[in-house]
Amino acid sequence: MKRTNTDDPAYFHKVVDCQWACPAHTNVPEYIRLIAQGRFTDAYMLNRESNVFPGILGRTCDRPCEPACRRGRLDGKPVAICRLKRVAADLKGEIGHLLPRAPEKKNGKRVACIGAGPASLTVANDLMPLGYEVVIFEKYDKPGGLMRSNIPSFRLPEHVLADETAAILDMGVDIRYNSPVTSMKDLLGHGLAGRFDAVFVGSGAPRGKNLDIPGRNDTDRIHLGIDWLESVAFNHIESIGEKVLIIGVGNTAMDCCRTSRRLGGKDIKVMARRPRAYFKASPWELEDAEEEGIEIVINHAPKRFVLENGVLKGMEFERLEWDAEAKKSRVIDTVIIPADDVILAIGQENSFPWIERDVGIDFDKWDMPAVDETTMQCSRPGVFFGGDAAWGPKNIIWAVAHGHAAAISVHNHCQGIPLTERPPDRMNLITQKMGISEWSYHNDYNPVARQKMKHVDLQRRFEELSLEVELGFDVEQTAREAQRCLNCDVETAFTAAKCIECDACVDICPLLCLTITRDGEEAEVRERLSAPAVNPEQALYASTPLPQTSRLMLKDEDLCVHCGLCAERCPTAAWDMQKFELLISYAGTAVTEPALAQV
């Protein structure tokens, strides 16, 4: 079978499931270790390197890392990575002196960013230290974009948002509030704002999808979810009726129903077309909503709004019965559910009325700009897209990842380097061996269960709209949760030439990951593993032939708990535990800069 090439940083990177799954590739295990050591500031700064907004994301991230977490495959519950990130942000010390700074002397290049959301802010974060002059055009009078307008303050306190946006803007970003860009042609044509060397569009997906059914336009008590949340965020709306229906069951719906609960809603129902298994909302957001007394009603399809004398009275729904895969449905009957207000949260879409269609920016058949997935550039050189503006609604962490990628492109574009010549990711591998059976990481397995986040008492939390519901982990919870991490970045590194095939590693491995067996076709070799390889998504490491018998050392990466016992029981140090550090390249990382030598 094919031998594994561990010189490619991608191999060990993929073993660190959380980091691999994270769009920004945050070094999760390392920051969890720093938290365990009480080094909260260091943990925060490590986070900030890749995800820029640890405090914000520690509360609101969509957490692609958690479903990927190896711990979840072992005891059913992943490490509470997101919550630990928040711990680092909450307990960090003074960081002002550690933040990136912009040089006095500028490099003479000007970059325009449209919208002050996470994507644009990330571009500014990466380019300001390189001497760029970054101008951000923001339509409101505060930064943050959808992080401010669409995430309720009881989930994301204002001061957290303010601190982390200020960390970037205070480098000297030229941010122009109340300045919506109304014409791309004007911006590109050296209009009022002057000449720009590059333009980054990070304007989000600001248009809520409408539900065009009878009665839609006959009352002002039907709201578009994201617009309504925005109005609440900017204090334009301060109350809602007692009976509220939310249409749709994504994360925006969750924010809408919980916000309604705080603005006077008493009887709030989230209306879903399909059964629970098909909800778009994250499980934890559903849980939080239900804890607050929100009712989630399944299998109801909106039919019409019911009005009496111009006053909204409720909505008529078709009750559906779905087949097993929830693909086909049958209408059982219709019901009318009373409502004072209805909020539509059935999705959002991009809208670029301000981009003229003759400026060289191609739009596809869905009226979306054609954007290159690697360079983030559209068909017009020097114009880049990122965040929700690029491919429709995703989430904050994707916007950050797009921002980093776009910043590299902007830098290359401005310096005359081809966009495809991107600085590669590199790695460090450093042995963790301190002595016989002694490691510089905590290798023991803690069977403790995932810690539960404490919430503000149900009675209290509705008294004030901006009262943060989640209280964060306390010290003991933090310590326990940090120990649940399996240190997947401390990799099992094998040197075939040293192996004497004594079987010690195979015998000691608690998860039966290792096998020494003769070579063959991979499908057939998989039949001979110590334990069945149940997860084809995970790599099967294969060594070069072993010296004494020419058999291969195989390792199924799936369930390895990185306890290091294989290396401890190895008499020849053929196995070693080496800490993998992914050296991610950002804008300005020199391509020629060599990685530190492998130790």
Partner 1 sequence: MPSIAKPIAVHPSLHRNAIGLNLRDYEGAMSTLCAGCGHDSITAALIRALWELSIEPHMIAKLSGIGCSSKTPTYFVNGAHGFNSAHGRMAAIATGANAANRELTYIGVSGDGDSLSIGLGHLCHAIRRNVKMLYVIENNGVYGLTKGQFSASADVGSKSKRGEANRMSPIDPAMLALSIGATFVARSFSGDKEQLVPILKAAIAHRGFALVDVISPCVTFNDHNGSTKSYLYTRKHMQRTTEADFVPPASEILATIGPSGTTTVTMHDGSVVRFSAVPKDYDPTDRRKVLNYLQENQSSIATGLLYVDETVANLHEMNGTPAAALWSLPYEKLCPGTAALRELQEDYR
- Interaction site with partner 1 (CB under 8 A): 73-75, 437-439, 443-445, 447, 500-504, 506-508, 510-512, 531-532, 534, 548-549, 559, 561, 563-565, 568-572
Whose Cβ is closer to partner 1: residue 456's or residue 511's? 511
Q: Which of 425, 473, 426, 434 is nearest to 79 (CA)?
A: 473
**Burial of 309: CB neighbours in 10 Å, binned 0-12, 13-18, 19+:** exposed
Enumerate the H helices of 282-438 as residue ranges: 283-291, 388-391, 396-415
Cα separation, 270 vs 278, in Å, equals 14
DSSP SS3 for 265: coil
The minimum distance between CB 3 and partner 1, in angstroms, equals 22
- Minimum gap (Å) between residue 202 Cβ and partner 1: 43
Q: Which is nearer to partner 1, 226 or 559 (CB)?
A: 559
**DSSP output for 114-159:** ES-SHHHHHHHHHHGGGT-EEEEE-SSSSS-THHHHTS-TTTS-HH
> Among residues 389 and 566, whose Cβ is nearest to partner 1?
566
CB of 12 to partner 1, least distance (A): 21
Q: Phi/psi at 492 (nearest 5 deg)?
A: -85, 110
Decide: 122 and 52 in contact? Cβ < 8 Å: yes
Taking the complex as a whole, how short is the minimal distance between the CB of residue 498 and partner 1, in angstroms? 11
Q: With respect to partner 1, which residue has the nearer C-beta, 151 or 504?
A: 504
Q: How far is the CB of 520 from partner 1 (least distance, A)?
A: 15
Nearer Cβ to partner 1 (191/571): 571
Non-local CB neighbours of 427 within 8 Å, separated by 6+ positions: 9, 12, 13, 580, 581, 582, 583, 595
CB closer to partner 1, 70 vs 92: 70
> Is the dihedral angle over the CA atoms 243, 249, 253, 259 positive or is it negative?
positive
How near is the Cβ of 250 to partner 1 at its closest, in Å? 32
Distance CA 447, CA 459 (A): 34
Nearer to partner 1 by C-beta: 344 or 566? 566
SS3 184: helix
Smallest gap from residue 128 Cβ to partner 1 (A): 46
Q: Measured from the CB of residue 559, what is the shortest distance to partner 1 in angstroms?
A: 6
Which residues are registered as beta bridge partners of 570? none
- By beta-carbon proximity to partner 1, the closer residue of 291 and 438 is 438
CB of 363 to partner 1, least distance (A): 48
Nearer to partner 1, 322 or 441 (CB): 441
> Minimal distance in Å, beta carbon 533 to partner 1?
9
Q: Which of 506, 503, 502, 512 is nearest to 561 (CA)?
A: 512
Q: Indicate left, alpha or beta for 191 from its phi (over 0: left) and psi (-120 to 50: alpha).
A: beta
* DSSP 8-state symbol, 453: P
Residue type (1 letter), 397:
I
Q: State the Cα–Cα distance between residues 567 and 7, nearest whole angstrom.
A: 20
Helix, strand or coil for residue 432? coil
Q: Which of 218, 202, 533 is nearest to 371 (CA)?
A: 202
The residue among 272 and 563 lying less far from partner 1, judged by its C-beta, is 563
Cβ at position 572, least distance to partner 1 in Å: 7
Question: Of 594, 596, 565, 593, nearest to 580 (Cα)?
Answer: 596
- β-sheet bridge partners, residue 363: 369
Query: Would you say 471 or 500 has its CB closer to partner 1?
Result: 500
Greatest alpha-carbon pair distance for the chain in Å reads: 90
Residue among 163 and 501 whose Cβ is closer to partner 1: 501
Least distance CB 490 / partner 1 (angstroms):
13
* Residues facing 554 on adjacent strands: 515, 542
* d(C-alpha 297, C-alpha 271), whole Å: 5
Q: Which two tokens stand for residue 550?
A: 């020419």
The nearer residue to partner 1, 320 or 559, going by C-beta atoms, is 559
d(CA 470, CA 102): 35
The CB-of-75 to partner 1 minimum distance in angstroms stands at: 7
Distance CA 211, CA 336 (A): 17
